[in-house]
Structure 1
Amino acid sequence: MADTLTAAAPAPASPSSTSSSGDSAPGASGTVASGPGKLRGSLGVASIVFIVVAAASPLGVIGGPVPLGIAFGNGAGFPFTFIVVTAVLLFFAVGFTAATPFVRSAGAFYAYVDKGLGRSAGLGTAFAALLSYLALEAGVFGLFGPALDSLLQSYGLPPVPWWVYAAVGFVVVSALGYLKIELSGRILGVLLIAEVAIVLVLDAAVVFSGGGPEGFSTGIFDPAEIVSGAPGFAILFAILSFIGFEATAVFRDETKDPDKTIPKATYISLILIGVFYTVSSWVLITANGQSDIVQNAGDNAGSILATTTEKYLGTVGGHIIQILFVTSLFACILSFHSIVSRYFFSLSSKQVLPAALSKPHPKHGSPSLSSLLASAIVAVLIIAAVLLQLDPITQFYTWLGGISSVGIVLLLVITSVSVISIFRRNKHELSLWRTTIAPAIGLVSLIGFLVVILLNLPVLVGEASYGPFSIGVLVLLALAFAAGPVVGYFKKGAELS
């Protein structure tokens, strides 16, 4: 989820095969029937794309990490960074989607790791993923509450503590998570279309007006601009803008034809997100002038999108942006709540967690009890933040965002290794490109991204250098991974993939 860095600046094929271990080859799959351990749904490509892209929070990206990436990264060359990151994630997706027929579970990351590296590694990945997603779901409430309060104050309402509006959002998210996934999918679709539409209207207004005060920005094509400033820091902001795309496989049991739907949804989500971020960040630079954009973005990181919108679309456009920024945060929370609920459900169906969590709702076919568990954990985190009097943005959100940032990229690296291993351990007729070359390119690049994030982790959690919070992030993730072998020892019957 891309808003993870806003607080860093307190200013605001279906192969036929036989596994080497004797597993049956994956084949075509149709609609999954509901039952113990199975969810019911008929999600198509579009619904999954809506959920996944909403998790990426596109409007939040353009209003948060993009200005920060411009100011503290590589300035006018920042849009090209999105092209680089999109390309790397597409390399990852080549192997990830090609391996889908070999992984029959809806466990996403951990199911792939279990299939490729073994059960202990898979369980460790599952716990690290849960930690990362729960941290992000809870942390974004630290943005949602103040954002909604600020919006309502602009219409004359008195200020209230951030947790009041966070509680309202929490209740709505919990209710939607309990109901049919199609309902959440429709709501996310409407909110996503609205937030993307306003940015596209802004893009069109800037382009058809002949550009900004200096015409059209050329930094996206200029090698000198692309490598200027701190390109590594730019990659940090860009890679975090895509968090959530990898969750397509979580909805396997609720899709019409997972072996076709999951790959399509993954590619479409990545390409849509990448193109949207690249074009819109370039337009934002163009609209404000390339020569002054670094200073402008640094001084006004939290407001540059709103002021740019007012300049080109008028006061009404500025108000719409404010409203949709709040709904974008809500959509992000709802998306990650859906993902976390399905992680709990899937782990329960694999006998890792209590069996009751894998009973779908008899009417809605939803992971209702798993959803309630996710809500309970998030509620505890929010209440703890209130009792400890943490600042909702610079402390609560930033600290939890640091956990998620490192965790998700680390999971991408481990999953890449697992995908390559899956193809080596199973007979198949897939090309070398899909099974080795593309995944290897993605792996090497993702390792580079992970190094960049680790080098900049103290900035994410508001420290000048490695201190208790940045070290704490690494310790928590290490403990989550270490829990895998321990749980695996006591849960010997658990099969994850």
Structure 2
Amino acid sequence: MSSTTTVVPEAAEPAAVPSRTLRGSLGVASIVFIVVAAASPLGVIGGPVPLGIANGNGAGFPFTFVVVTAVLLLFAVGFTTATPFVKSAGAFFAYVDKGLGRSAGLGAAFAALLSYLALEAGVFGIFGPGFDALLQSYGLPAVPWWVYAIVGFVVVSALGYLNINLSGKILGVLLIAEVAIVLVLDAVVVFGGGGPEGFSTGIVTPAEIVSGAPGFAILFAILSFIGFEATAVFRDEAKNPERTIPRATYISLILIGVFYTLSSWVLITANGESDIVANAGENAGSILATTTEAYLGSVGGHIIQLLFVTSLFACILSFHNIGARYVFALSKKGVFAERLSRPHQKHGSPALASLVTSAVVAVLVIAAVLLGLDPINQFYTWLGGISAVGIVLLLVITSTAVIVLLRREHHELSRWKTLVAPGLGLLGLLAFFVIILQNLPVLVAEEGYGPFSWGILALFAVAFALGPIVARVRRHVDLS
């Protein structure tokens, strides 16, 4: 009797499904570097700080950073407490979706994308002229600003295409360098006994703090923090995001707040309280360089000029990474084309989403060149106005969403974390938003509300109106 053996073929291995998760191993330090670089510390001390001093509350301006830092830390309490309930990498829109629903989440996503891409493009309007001025100081001929903007654009696009760890390392080096030179200046002034009038006391003098136009001062202080909230965008590339994201958020806020408060106070001290308002008003663009040269010599002046340009580059790179991850996350959720949510097989980066981000920025820069816009007074100022309105509006909406979310899913969390701190933060943010609206015409160089001021508000009205429209048309979209 013979037996037959039936050979059963092994089941075919199912085709591997490409991963749609970004790869990275960002720790707290790396995320802090990316986020703080987006805030451009050196650029702030050389730009918004002199403007805040001259047009705001003079010697009392450093205290404004204390106020803004306190409000944003209150916001961060709710923001970070809600992190375990928000599994999606998407910062604003993911939190708004969880708290206020899909339509509001989509509106927030479009508004955030508009804000970040506008700022990335706008900073090229400072980077180009700054790079040109730097090279002219070494004897090179002047060239149109857009030539150096193209150079920066190519480098940023290439880095955005590669793994985030490379960008994190580059930003870390640039950030350490720019912060170090300012801290050296701070140390020389402080340990040298202060400036021509000793140490400034405006930071602790109520009459100085409320002098001039404190609302305008708060406006410039708020602009100096843009980017801190993007820690949650890197959730997929973070090591242990439930711990990394909250820690990175708090550390970023505290570092930025302390650095700005200390360095703006030192700038006032180094020049003297009695002359600082006039000096900052007449030399807003050069006061940091001249102050550094006075205390650290010509070498210090050259270093500041170089690091100012690299600070702007770091800012652009940071916002490019943030914008690309917004495009990637929205594509992953079905809002944009699915292929934009495919990570690069080798680098694990949002490569296609990064290229799309670059394309949008390129269109904005090319439009500015063809229209003959002044790179700083028009291109940067206008796009910066868009970003300022958008980010503060999103902070208000996100704060509201977080309170709703935490009150619904508090799981025995303390009342401080779920209501008191987020509620106080929301009140502060609402006050900031009112100040932004009051000063928007000045921010975009208009006398009273004109076409551009109203245009900015219209853009965000359209962005939020698209939320419910897209939610209805594309019912498969799931932001959670």
How many Å separate the matches in 2 of 1:231 and 1:162? 34
Asked whether the 8 Å contact 1:120–1:485 carries over to 2, the reply is yes
Which amino acid in 2 is paired with 1:310? Answer: E
How many Å separate the matches in 2 of 1:440 and 1:293? 37
Asked whether the 8 Å contact 2:410–2:418 carries over to 1, the reply is no
1:462 aligned counterpart, secondary structure: coil
How many Å separate the matches in 2 of 1:197 and 1:348? 39
How many Å separate the matches in 2 of 1:78 and 1:427? 38
Asked whether the 8 Å contact 2:407–2:419 carries over to 1, the reply is no
Q: What does 1:298-317 correspond to in 2, within 5 Å?
A: 298-317=281-300
C-alpha change, 1:421 and 1:35, in structure 2 (3 Å) is farther
C-alpha change, 1:427 and 1:275, in structure 2 (3 Å) is closer
How many Å separate the matches in 1 of 2:178 and 2:226? 18
How far is the alpha carbon of 1:35 from its aligned partner? 5.0
Residue aligning to 1:368: 351
How far is the alpha carbon of 1:208 from its aligned partner? 1.1
TM-score normalised per structure 2: 0.96
How many Å separate the matches in 2 of 1:383 and 1:219? 44
How far is the alpha carbon of 1:425 from its aligned partner? 2.1
How far is the alpha carbon of 1:491 from its aligned partner? 1.2
* 1:244 alignment partner, one of 212, 227, 236: 227
2:226 aligned counterpart, secondary structure: coil
Q: What does 1:378-457 correspond to in 2, within 5 Å?
A: 378-457=361-440
How many Å separate the matches in 2 of 1:476 and 1:426? 33
2:372 aligned counterpart, secondary structure: coil
Which amino acid in 1 is paired with 2:266? Answer: V
Which amino acid in 2 is paired with 1:344? Answer: V
Residue aligning to 1:80: 63
Asked whether the 8 Å contact 1:93–1:266 carries over to 2, the reply is yes
1:436 aligned counterpart, secondary structure: helix
How many Å separate the matches in 2 of 1:218 and 1:424? 43
How far is the alpha carbon of 1:283 from its aligned partner? 0.2
Are 1:268 and 2:229 counterparts? no
Are 1:356 and 2:339 counterparts? yes
Asked whether the 8 Å contact 2:95–2:402 carries over to 1, the reply is yes
Asked whether the 8 Å contact 1:36–1:358 carries over to 2, the reply is no
How far is the alpha carbon of 1:66 from its aligned partner? 0.4
Q: Which has the larger radius of gyration?
A: 2
How many Å separate the matches in 1 of 2:120 and 2:472? 30
Are 1:134 and 2:117 counterparts? yes
Residue aligning to 2:105: 122
How many Å separate the matches in 2 of 1:260 and 1:208? 38
- After superposition, the CA RMSD in angstroms is 0.8
Count of matched residue positions in the alignment of Structure 1 and Structure 2: 464
How far is the alpha carbon of 1:427 from its aligned partner? 4.6
Which amino acid in 2 is paired with 1:353? Answer: F
Which amino acid in 2 is paired with 1:289? Answer: G
Residue aligning to 2:476: 493
Q: What does 1:339-354 correspond to in 2, within 5 Å?
A: 339-354=322-337
Residue aligning to 1:229: 212
Residue aligning to 1:281: 264
2:21 aligned counterpart, secondary structure: coil
Residue aligning to 2:188: 205
Asked whether the 8 Å contact 1:250–1:343 carries over to 2, the reply is yes
Q: Where does structure 1 lack aligned partners over 5 or more consecutive residues?
A: 1-33
How far is the alpha carbon of 1:37 from its aligned partner? 2.9
Q: Where does structure 2 lack aligned partners over 5 or more consecutive residues?
A: 1-16
How many Å separate the matches in 2 of 1:478 and 1:398? 20
2:336 aligned counterpart, secondary structure: coil
Moved more, 387-396 or 189-198: 387-396
Asked whether the 8 Å contact 1:71–1:295 carries over to 2, the reply is yes
* 1:40 alignment partner, one of 19, 23, 35: 23
- Percent of pairs identical after alignment? 79
Residue aligning to 1:478: 461
Which amino acid in 1 is paired with 2:109? Answer: A
TM-score normalised per structure 1: 0.93
1:106 aligned counterpart, secondary structure: coil
For 1:357-392, what per-residue CA distance to the aligned partner results, in whole angstroms no more than 9, with x for missing partners? Answer: 100000000000000000000001111111111111
C-alpha change, 1:483 and 1:380, in structure 2 (3 Å) is same
Residue aligning to 1:105: 88
